[in-house]
Amino acid sequence: MRYRYDETSRIRLKTVELIVETKELPAPRKATVDDPLVPVRISYGQRELGRMAKTMGGTWDPDVKLWYIQLGKIKGTELEKHIILDAEMKNSGS
């Protein structure tokens, strides 16, 4: 049960949430050897790429300022061009 207040008409509403169906969710998909997580660098201000990374299930790591996304999800997209190779990460000091 929850109360809502309407200041304009000075009314309090009591609401109830009904559960219509209960269904077990599938287990979250983990990265596999065939579909590894890859580090992706998206520059500040590239909002469309950031939205794309989020939509594809990417995870932001604020410590290294990189997105981690499954390779299979970004193959053939603009994000594939932003994958960070091991040599680049070592040179950047990360």
Tell how strand 66-70 and strand 59-61 pair up: antiparallel
Q: Write down the mean pLDDT value for the chain.
A: 85
**Confidence grade of residue 28 (pLDDT, cut at 50, 70, 90):** low
The CA radius of gyration of the chain, in Å to the nearest whole number, is 21
Looking at per-residue confidence, does 35 or 93 come out higher? Answer: 35
Q: Tokens 């680049």 — which residue?
A: 88
Q: Is pLDDT above 70 for 4?
A: yes
Q: Is pLDDT above 90 for 66?
A: yes
Question: What is residue 92's predicted lDDT score, i.e. its pLDDT?
Answer: 57
